[in-house]
Structure 1
Amino acid sequence: MSANVKVPPLSEDAKWSMGSIRIWSEAVSASEISARLGITADRQFERGSLMSPRNPANARRKRSVWIRQSGLANNSDLADHVRALLGLMGGCREELARLSVDCEMDLFLGFSSGNGQGGCVLPADLVADVAALGLDIVLDLHPPAATEDC
């Protein structure tokens, strides 16, 4: 698992996008998800671990969480984030189907056109490929704040 990375401040008119695959479960550990997929998570948290490791009195996680980011820069096209993640997960279709019995999973996308105007296109064949993996698509339209972990 890589260290948390702080996102630099974004100006209000900055165009950005990001993409990740998220898998979470009460029954399957994050390390088991990595082993079963043969893919290392960029971030993972085990069920029962502290929500904030610096505060021992904090709540504990109710589910294990596995996150793999696209690895592309946040100025890349949103569809390119999706393509990168599909390329990574393409050989995992059967294992994703098996994991879906005990796990929830999605393709988490973030997007901002920069000035409040504009949009993006996800081609139908790309959306069909995401659906074939059994992933819901979540679109977040809020850029990360400078203090948030990515």
Structure 2
Amino acid sequence: MPDTKWSAGSLRITSRTVSAGDISARLGIEPDDQFERGSLTSPRNPNSVRRETSVWIRRSGLGSDRRLEEHVAALVRLADGRREALMRLSADCDLELFLGFGSENGQGSCVLPARLLTEIGALGLDVVLDLNPPGPTPQHAVIEM
């Protein structure tokens, strides 16, 4: 039986001082998910922990069957026209490419070409690689921190 691999990617920006709404305004991009500092981590549970940071998330928009390199390239294209805004945000925010990768049998690899890594560095983005054990694609993959 063939091994089913999956991958996902998102641009994730967090901050203790800049609101998720302000991040959207500065970048001119609407997020797929956003959470404001001080909001409940579980809105249905009034006793849940409150978020310590605002969180802004924009996913690559590609399916989990696409190669990790494709997710990264899509996110680099999205961020590329916003280098100055990202640089300004980096003073008060953590900027990350949050990447997930897994396979059913626990084996596998991916390649991120040097030119793509150079572009990520030029954008000032840190890379977080979340390697997942064998099993189905997690529902929370690359959505929340």
TM-score of the superposed pair, with normalisation by structure 1: 0.86
Give the deviation of 1:62 after TM superposition.
1.1
Between the two proteins, the alignment pairs up a number of residues equal to 137
Give the deviation of 1:59 after TM superposition.
1.4
TM-score of the superposed pair, with normalisation by structure 2: 0.89
Instruction: Tell me the equivalent position of 2:77.
Output: 87
Cα RMSD for the two superposed structures: 1.4
Percent identity over the alignment is 61
1:91-102 matches, cutoff 5 A: 91-102=81-92
Supply the distance in 1 between the matched residues of 2:117 and 2:102 (Cα, whole angstroms): 19
Supply the distance in 1 between the matched residues of 2:79 and 2:21 (Cα, whole angstroms): 17
Give the deviation of 1:135 after TM superposition.
0.5
Supply the distance in 2 between the matched residues of 1:90 and 1:114 (Cα, whole angstroms): 33
Instruction: Tell me the equivalent position of 1:145.
Output: 138
Where 1:110 maps in the other structure, the secondary structure is strand
Give the deviation of 1:57 after TM superposition.
1.4
Give the deviation of 1:14 after TM superposition.
2.6
Unaligned stretches of 5+ residues in structure 1 = 1-12
Where 2:120 maps in the other structure, the secondary structure is helix
Supply the distance in 2 between the matched residues of 1:80 and 1:29 (Cα, whole angstroms): 29
User: Which of 33, 38, 53 matches 2:43?
Assistant: 53
Unaligned stretches of 5+ residues in structure 2 = none
Supply the distance in 2 between the matched residues of 1:113 and 1:59 (Cα, whole angstroms): 32
The one-letter amino acid paired with 1:111 is: F
